[in-house]
Structure 1
Amino acid sequence: MNLAIRHVRITPIAFRDPPLLNAAGIHEPWALRSVIEIETACGRVGINETYGDQSMLEVLARAAPALQGLSPWDLNVMESRVQTLVQPASNASEFQGEQISLAPGTHVSKNVAKVVNAFEVAMLDLQGQLANAPVVDLLGGAARDTVPFSAYLFFKYAEHIDHPYAADPWGEGIQPEALVVQACRMIEQYGFKSIKLKAGVFPPEQEVAALLALTQAFPDAPLRIDPNANWSVATSLKVIEQLRGVLEYYEDPAPGLDGMAAVAYKLREMGGVPLATNMVVTDYKEFAENVRLGCPVRIVLSDHHYWGGLRTTQQLARLCQTFDMGLSMHSNSHLGISLIAMTHLAASVPHLAYACDTHYPWQDEEVVQGGRLKFENGSLRVPRGPGLGVTIDSEALARLHDNYLHCGIRNRDDLGQMRKYDPTFTGKQPRY
């Protein structure tokens, strides 16, 4: 059997995304992703899903020759080749426009890690097919059979201003009572046990009121809030005073590791809640700096898409355990391939301390055969089939690629989209 990799197909796709509000602005009508297919000479195909903005597509195309002739087992060689092909451009000024970044998925400094992940997951999918084993077994075996996820709530408008398709069924979510209705629906449909609110959108008192309403409606549910560093240190501390005893963790309230540290040191005096991040501890260098400062961030919300894959995230988990830090997982708008890769990874990590994030309930399209993945009591069961345990629906892939060709979006721009609603919106951070 000839296992040499002979083709790498990169297919950009777009799928409907609701008008979800965040610190940087608002989601555009279409979310961009790309589907990776790595084919061997014997016809086996491994798959993955990753970012789909124009700069990512360009760097993926630049790196694709790194796989030519490799075996699916040659992960270390793949990484070395990717570093050679991609590293020279990693510090280049490829980022366009004024877009405010909420997470490192858009950072060109993460290009090597993002490409390594894109190829690694697809190669692990191939390995699993060849070994007749699920990816979780290649990662050491399952520490759990199901992986818990959290209800991820957003302030949102009822429909997009540019009306590219029918309004989504969730409706407007601005006032506290609307967020409670949103949570009720999401928990009833998916069975989630914990709740996260994306904040940093409206004045903090409005967002505090929403969280207190959620507390009253769901007194036993662990709650989290994430203003995406849109609050000053003073505001972050004022808010936490109003939320004493409410939060499971406090995610990225203030900008930068120094700002987070200032909040954390004061919280320690108050006997307060732990800080979590997906913004200031996003690679091993930043992890080391957090340790040097005495671990003001206590919970790392990892993301295999920009940490560099599944194996390096397992290494991160061991470091978190060593330094008595918690670990969970960050999410962005994604479909089932990313979600199932995340599930295999989370199942393989004994030190998973909190339910993971997922945007999946906000999406209504899918690219895998069999359609939408099914949650049971807020969790996903780890597939036991070979590799990732999912395959591509070719008709769905063609349809979502056609969306990409016609949607007119090539780079995510929450700021530009928000200016369609409010031309004076600057996206300045911290805003409160």
Structure 2
Amino acid sequence: MRITGLRATPVNLPLEAPLWWTGGHYPGTSKTIVEVETDQGLVGLGEAPSVDVVRAIEALGERLVAARADPLDIAGCEALCLPPWQIVQNTDDASAVKAFGAVEIALWDLRGKAWGQPLYKLLGGAVRKAIPFTEYFGFRAERDGRGGETTPEAVVDYCLAMREAHGSSLFEGKLILGDPLLEIRTVRLLREALGPGAVIRLDSNMQWSLSTARRVLREIEPYDIRNYEDPVATFEEMKALRQHSAIPFSSHVPDLRRAVALGVPDTIVTNFAVLGGIARAVRFIGACEAMGVGFWCYSGDSGIATAAYLHMVAAQPWITEPSQSLFRWQVADVIEGGPFRQRDDVVAVPEGAGLGVDLDREALARWHGHLVEHGPLDHFHDPLAPGRFRRLPLH
């Protein structure tokens, strides 16, 4: 089997209503969908976490097609696409890693399709097949009758509605309006309403200064917060914060060496393409296990990257905590039957060959057209100060 073509299609994946986060309104995500074509008619699917790597992915495809590369020889494909890993890291050019990581996911999908096996079996078999994900909550603007949770009481009512409708007991959210008292009050009301059995995790996106984070975490610690993601801007500030709080921390920054050296964060939360693909994610998670650092998966992706998460968590005993999820709010996807939706906190791992998902070409064209018409989704629009970017920390 030889690689004969590669397509990189940027798409928008909007949410039903914008969510407040540290940078302003979060309206959804923009991704790059990768298709690797072969002379045997099989097509592998991959996904990059951004659209700034489209040209880089296309350049990698030109190399792979010119070499008539064997897609099952993933190490050989990497040697065609990337210089030595240490040099790539030394140049601070993460785009090369993300670009190849998206292609590499597609190569694993091809491997599964060629051998007629789901990805989790290629990774060693399943230790679980019901994969847990959190519901998401936060302060949201209203759009077409959706969202509109702008008070602590509305956020609580939303979470209770998710529990009633979907059996949800795992919750993660952003309470980001720059007001520590608002966050403290919302957390208290959530715990009182959801009871002691619900999991509550928080994500600050680095909004707090160290002094404010000390105050906030001191007040919310009695409400049994399972994890707090990026409460402050750096690992060094997390280390100082650890002296004042027993709440575990996580971060999207995949710097395992520094995490081990400083003792924080407790968990890394990231995207497989950011790590360089499936094979490097396996090694990264193994290193986390050896060092006692947790791992779970990112949110806001299409069904392609989500399927990769499902297979990886199925095969990795070390990933025991639920991964993040914006599934309930996603109105767009590029796979048939997508987006995934959890029921009773879990999604079943796909049993089809490779990633086990099929591309919905009509949906791909629709959401690519959305990007062409509107541009990539802007995560940094602040309706309170149009045309100006927010500064950190917020308080």
Report the TM-score when normalising by structure 2: 0.92
- Give deviations 1:367-408, integer Å, cap 9, x for gaps: 21234434231111111111111111122222222222212x
**Which residue pairs with 1:81 in the alignment?**
80
Residue 264, structure 1, aligned to residue 242, structure 2 = yes
Q: Which amino acid aligns with 2:352?
A: G
- Give deviations 1:248-271, integer Å, cap 9, x for gaps: 11211111111111111333xxxx
- Give deviations 1:289-312, integer Å, cap 9, x for gaps: 22222x121122232131122222
**Which residue pairs with 1:308 in the alignment?**
276
Tell me the distance in 2 between the aligned counterparts of 1:123 and 1:424: 41
Deviation at 1:52, TM superposition (A): 4.1
Kept in 2, the 8 Å contact 1:275–1:299? The answer is yes
Residues 209 and 305 (structure 1), Cα distance of their counterparts in 2 relative to 1, 3 Å cut: farther
What 5-or-longer segments of structure 1 have no aligned partner? 93-107, 160-166
- Give deviations 1:50-73, integer Å, cap 9, x for gaps: 2342x2212222222232211121
What 5-or-longer segments of structure 2 have no aligned partner? none
Deviation at 1:414, TM superposition (A): 2.4
Deviation at 1:116, TM superposition (A): 2.3
- The more displaced of 14-23 and 380-389 is 14-23
Kept in 2, the 8 Å contact 1:230–1:255? The answer is yes
Tell me the distance in 2 between the aligned counterparts of 1:77 and 1:388: 21
Tell me the distance in 1 between the aligned counterparts of 2:288 and 2:174: 24
Tell me the distance in 2 between the aligned counterparts of 1:289 and 1:114: 21
Q: Which amino acid aligns with 2:358?
A: T
Tell me the distance in 2 between the aligned counterparts of 1:43 and 1:399: 24
Give the alignment of 1:384-403 within 5 angstroms. Answer: 384-403=351-370
Q: Which amino acid aligns with 1:308?
A: G
Could you say what secondary structure the match of 1:201 adopts? Answer: coil
Give the alignment partner of residue 183 of structure 2, picking from 207, 231, 255. Answer: 207
The sequence identity of aligned pairs, in percent, is 26
Give the alignment of 1:225-240 within 5 angstroms. Answer: 225-240=202-217
Kept in 2, the 8 Å contact 1:176–1:209? The answer is yes
Could you say what secondary structure the match of 1:178 adopts? Answer: helix
**Which residue pairs with 2:226 in the alignment?**
248
Q: Which amino acid aligns with 1:224?
A: R
Residue 218, structure 1, aligned to residue 217, structure 2 = no
Kept in 1, the 8 Å contact 2:11–2:33? The answer is yes
Q: Which amino acid aligns with 1:183?
A: C
**Which residue pairs with 1:292 in the alignment?**
261
Residues 237 and 180 (structure 1), Cα distance of their counterparts in 2 relative to 1, 3 Å cut: same
Give the alignment partner of residue 40 of structure 1, picking from 35, 38, 41. Answer: 38
Deviation at 1:425, TM superposition (A): 5.2
Residue 148, structure 1, aligned to residue 132, structure 2 = yes
Kept in 1, the 8 Å contact 2:47–2:273? The answer is no
Residue 343, structure 1, aligned to residue 310, structure 2 = yes
Give the alignment of 1:25-424 within 5 angstroms. Answer: 25-28=24-27, 31-53=29-51, 55-68=52-65, 69-84=68-83, 109-159=93-143, 167=144, 169-219=145-195, 220-245=197-222, 246-267=224-245, 272-279=246-253, 282=254, 286-293=255-262, 295-331=263-299, 333-407=300-374, 409-410=375-376, 412-415=377-380, 417-418=381-382, 420-423=383-386
Kept in 1, the 8 Å contact 2:303–2:333? The answer is yes
Residues 78 and 154 (structure 1), Cα distance of their counterparts in 2 relative to 1, 3 Å cut: farther
Could you say what secondary structure the match of 1:247 adopts? Answer: coil
Residues 312 and 265 (structure 1), Cα distance of their counterparts in 2 relative to 1, 3 Å cut: farther
- The more displaced of 74-83 and 142-151 is 74-83
Q: Which amino acid aligns with 2:346?
A: S
Deviation at 1:15, TM superposition (A): 3.2
Could you say what secondary structure the match of 2:101 adopts? Answer: helix
Kept in 1, the 8 Å contact 2:49–2:271? The answer is no
Residues 426 and 404 (structure 1), Cα distance of their counterparts in 2 relative to 1, 3 Å cut: closer
Could you say what secondary structure the match of 2:147 adopts? Answer: coil
Could you say what secondary structure the match of 2:213 adopts? Answer: helix
**Which residue pairs with 2:390 in the alignment?**
427
Tell me the distance in 2 between the aligned counterparts of 1:347 and 1:44: 25
Tell me the distance in 2 between the aligned counterparts of 1:148 and 1:346: 9
Deviation at 1:87, TM superposition (A): 9.7
